Amino acid sequence: MPLTTTTEMFKKAYDGGYAVGAFNVNNMEIVQGITEAAREQHAPLILQVSKGARAYANHTYLVKLVEAAVIECPDIPIALHLDHGPDFETCKSCIDGGFTSVMIDASSKPFAENIAITRKVVEYAHDHGVVVEAELGSLAGVEDEVNVSAEDSSYTRPEEVEEFVSKTGCDSLAIAIGTSHGAYKFTAAQCTRNEQGVLVPPPLRFDILEEVSRRLPGFPIVLHGSSSVPQEFVKMINENGGKMPDAVGIPEEQLRKAATLSVCKINIDSDLRLAMTGSIRQYFAEHPDHFDPRQYLTPARANIKAIVTHKLINVLGCAGKA
């Protein structure tokens, strides 16, 4: 089937109590690792491209890689989504250039300005058969060159969501309930420690999610910053020359719970980066004489496929739902 929008995917996910995984892509091995997992698990899939990915790999290369994946995976729906579109021009360029979904991220702007920019993107996108994700509230963490400190982040205010959605016409809404971008989501001071000395983050604000869903019945909610930072990858990196002390993520069982509620899209990027980096570091440590990129990218791609398979089955609950 051709690239699809997320409309049907989200409707089925909402009704079925699962979420669709949105994984960031930056090169061929990442696209292949993710799509091989989704094809095998018969899972609907969102491949997303950030501004940084477009700057790194070039828009056309990324679109063509995704189009190749669509040919290789004829039996699953795949959407191509712009992640964190910073302005109207970037959204327009992706809409004109083959994407089926865009995010306009004006969450750092005042409420009225966020509405105005989002509305403009929605009008252009809907005229071209493309759907729009918007954001209210802001997450802590690092994305592209923007670094939002924990103090500057803010939870979504449920009392704003109805006005925002009705005035913008957006198709899905990303909210801030305590997730955060990157591999260092929380400082040690925000966490407790378990018996192994690993940081345990504060729980997600399910009360906010539930109030948002009560005000927007049937409306698809999106969670960004949803990597769980698997400690086996952090260990793999640290034992092979890396240095990632106190990297910590969102516990998987909390994401699984969100997926059974109104959350229809869960964004995961950092965990794939950790999988890839961990296996490349390990490969180099074990084979210091090897220099053919195919040798170290083969296990890296396999490790991405393995972590995505795990997410589809155990976290998102979308395996078998294509």
DSSP state letter for 81: E
DSSP helix/strand/coil, 43: coil
Instruction: Select which of 83, 105, 269, 271 is catalytic.
Output: 83
Closest separation between CB of residue 161 and ligand G3H, Å?
A: 21
95, 100, 135, 181: which one binds ligand G3H (CB under 6 A): 181
DSSP helix/strand/coil, 142: strand
Tokens of 26: 């930056």
DSSP helix/strand/coil, 248: strand
- What whole-number distance in Å separates Cα of residue 147 and Cα of residue 292? 35
Does 225 interact with ligand 13P (rule: CB under 6 A)? yes
- φ, ψ of residue 193 to 5 degrees: the values are -120, 145
Largest distance between two CA atoms of the chain: 60
Residue type, 96: D
In the window 208-227, what residues touch ligand G3H (CB under 6 A)? Answer: 224
- What whole-number distance in Å separates Cα of residue 136 and Cα of residue 155? 8
- What whole-number distance in Å separates Cα of residue 298 and Cα of residue 276? 10
Do 135 and 9 contact (CB within 8 A), yes or no?
no
In the window 257-296, what residues touch ligand 13P (CB under 6 A)? Answer: 267-270
Does 84 interact with ligand G3H (rule: CB under 6 A)? yes
Taking CB under 6 A as the binding criterion, the range among 49-57, 73-81, 282-290, 305-313 that sits at the site for ligand G3H is 49-57
Does 26 interact with ligand 13P (rule: CB under 6 A)? no
Do 10 and 265 contact (CB within 8 A), yes or no?
yes
81, 181, 301, 305: which one binds ligand 13P (CB under 6 A): 181
Tokens of 201: 């983050």
- The nearer residue to Zn ion, 228 or 267, going by C-beta atoms, is 267
Interface with ligand G3H (CB under 6 A), residue total 11
Q: Please, how many CA atoms are within 13 Å of residue 121, restricted to the half-sphere of its CB?
A: 34
Does 301 interact with ligand 13P (rule: CB under 6 A)? no
Binds 144: which of ligand G3H, ligand 13P, Zn ion, none (CB < 5-8 Å by kind): ligand G3H
Binds 301: which of ligand G3H, Zn ion, ligand 13P, none (CB < 5-8 Å by kind): none
Closest separation between CB of residue 84 and ligand G3H, Å?
A: 6
Tokens of 256: 């699984």
Respond yes or no: is residue 207 known to be catalytic. no
- Binding residues for ligand 13P, rule: CB under 6 A, are 24, 83-84, 181-182, 224-227, 267-270
Residues that bind ligand G3H (CB under 6 A): 24, 50, 52-53, 83-84, 143-144, 181, 224, 269
* Residues taking part in catalysis: 83
